[in-house]
Amino acid sequence: MSILLENTCILPVTGRDAFINQGYLIIEHEKIKEVGMGQAPRGSYDKIINGQNKLLMPGFVNTHTHAAMTLMRGYADDLPLMEWLEHKIWPLEAKLTADDVYWGSMLAILEMIKSGTTTFNDMYFFMEETARAVQESGIRAVLARGLIGVGPAAESGLEESRELIGKWHRAADDRISFRLGPHAPYTCPPEYLKKVTALARELNVGIHTHIAETKVELEDIKKQYGKTPVELMEEAGLFEIPTTAAHCVHLTPADIAILKKYDIGVAHNPESNMKLASGIAPVPEMLAAGISVALGTDGASSNNNLDMLQEMRTCALLHKVNTMDPTVLPAYQAIEMATVHGAKALGLGNETGRLQAGLKADLIIISLDQPHMTPVHDAAANIVYSAQASDVETVIINGNIIMENKKIMTFDEKQVLLKAEKAAKRLAASL
């Protein structure tokens, strides 16, 4: 299928000065064929979209989620992380069924598409069901079965991961990638991490994990092993594998140097870290060191939404006030974190994250014809500081129109809402 998007503003995220005030973009099959200024070349197209009073940009890359936790949105708010996990979330998760995870994942995908996310990086369980949701919905995803190295499912989790990777890695027209998902250093001892590393090397896949999220984690790991969580992961060999590390809140200068040394992709989750009072990650320092710091929402149970526009705004404002420097993280850099840095952090930098010929056609159309988006002195500033999820009108992923004029084209939105609501009520009533 060929698609022409014309008469539109374009924010390609290929450089600060690359903004196109009026231009066009041509899609052929799953890829971008051409991006240009002015009038589009004449030709025959299967579909033409008029982008007048609209802005075209790459879809957002959400680098850390637990998609099915949408079913727990608002269930256990305003608690410290470990109390939240041990007394509320883990007991409820023990009641989850595969069907629950499917509908929770579909709800998350619906929310993400509607707010402009085209790729997400997920760690959870019953990941066969999440993969099925990704396949049916048309979104792009990097998935990992969460691994706990201290419980009875430690070994079976590795074997299940092997089976999932064999079946789903690079499936659904190359939209699904799989990784290994060791949960965190406090649930995966060094010997188990070495097994994970060996399996990742054997299967040629990356890793998705949590690192240095709380002060308690930092203190416990140092007390037990005499190292920081980052140092422990390095010693276990984990960083020899392409890794996306979520949170990275409590880091030393030496930790930052290690993350840079191994080119670790960091998933910064400002809203979740704020809500759980986990702390503020040293994002300006990591960016200054040349680390690919991306953005993630975390699960909807600790955020409580999956809105990357909101996450960008929070990120930019949080680090300005934390450093007392209004220049520290400008709007365009926040957009890079939500797009090109996100793709790079997931090993997809040569596939998505920018609007450039030869890359996958993962893009969104945002309405500028709104009071809060007028005038447009600086398109990047409008996107980060003014835009709302409801401004996202059309979403194209892998060259396919997934949402057009706010209407989901690939699945039944009302059915997802009904099924997810039913599953959530059953879970809450079971405890």
Cα Rg of the chain, angstroms? 21
Instruction: List 61's β-bridge partners, or say none.
Output: 119
Helix (H, G, I), strand (E, B) or coil at 369: coil
Q: How far apart are CA 66 and CA 75, in angstroms?
A: 15
Domains of the chain: 2-58+361-408 (2.30.40.10), 60-345 (3.20.20.140)
Strand 31-37 to strand 20-28: parallel, antiparallel, or no bridges (unpaired)?
antiparallel
User: Token pair for residue 375?
Assistant: 């005038």
Amino acid at 431: L
Sign of CA dihedral 297, 302, 307, 312: negative
- Angle of helix 190-203 relative to helix 154-168, nearest 10 degrees, comes to 20
Q: How far apart are CA 204 and CA 214, in angstroms?
A: 30
User: What is the pLDDT tens value at each position of the chain, 431 positions in all?
Assistant: 899 999 999 999 999 999 999 999 999 999 999 999 999 999 999 999 999 999 999 999 999 999 999 999 999 899 887 888 889 998 999 999 999 999 999 999 999 999 999 999 999 999 999 999 999 999 999 999 999 999 899 999 999 999 999 999 999 999 999 999 999 999 999 999 999 999 999 999 999 999 999 999 999 999 999 999 999 999 999 999 999 999 999 999 999 999 999 999 999 999 999 999 999 999 999 999 999 999 999 999 999 999 999 999 999 999 999 999 999 999 999 999 999 999 999 999 999 999 999 999 999 999 999 999 999 999 999 999 999 999 999 999 999 999 999 999 999 999 999 999 999 999 999 87
pLDDT > 70: percent of the chain: 100
Q: Looking at residue 2, what is its pLDDT? A: 97
Q: Looking at residue 154, what is its pLDDT? A: 97
Q: How far apart are CA 210 and CA 214, in angstroms?
A: 10
User: Which residue shows structure tokens 């949080």?
Assistant: 318
Strand 392-397 to strand 400-404: parallel, antiparallel, or no bridges (unpaired)?
antiparallel
Q: How far apart are CA 252 and CA 362, in angstroms?
A: 36
Q: Looking at residue 82, what is its pLDDT? A: 82
User: Which residue shows structure tokens 């503003």?
Assistant: 9
User: Token pair for residue 207?
Assistant: 């890793």
DSSP H helical ranges for 236-300:
253-261, 270-275, 283-288
User: Token pair for residue 108?
Assistant: 């998350």
Q: Looking at residue 430, what is its pLDDT? A: 86
Task: Provide the greatest CA pair distance for the chain.
Answer: 67
User: Token pair for residue 53?
Assistant: 């009073």
Q: Looking at residue 79, what is its pLDDT? A: 86
User: Token pair for residue 262?
Assistant: 């191994």
Helical (H) or strand (E) element with 216? helix 215-225
Q: How far apart are CA 370 and CA 33, in angstroms?
A: 30
Q: How far apart are CA 184 and CA 188, in angstroms?
A: 6
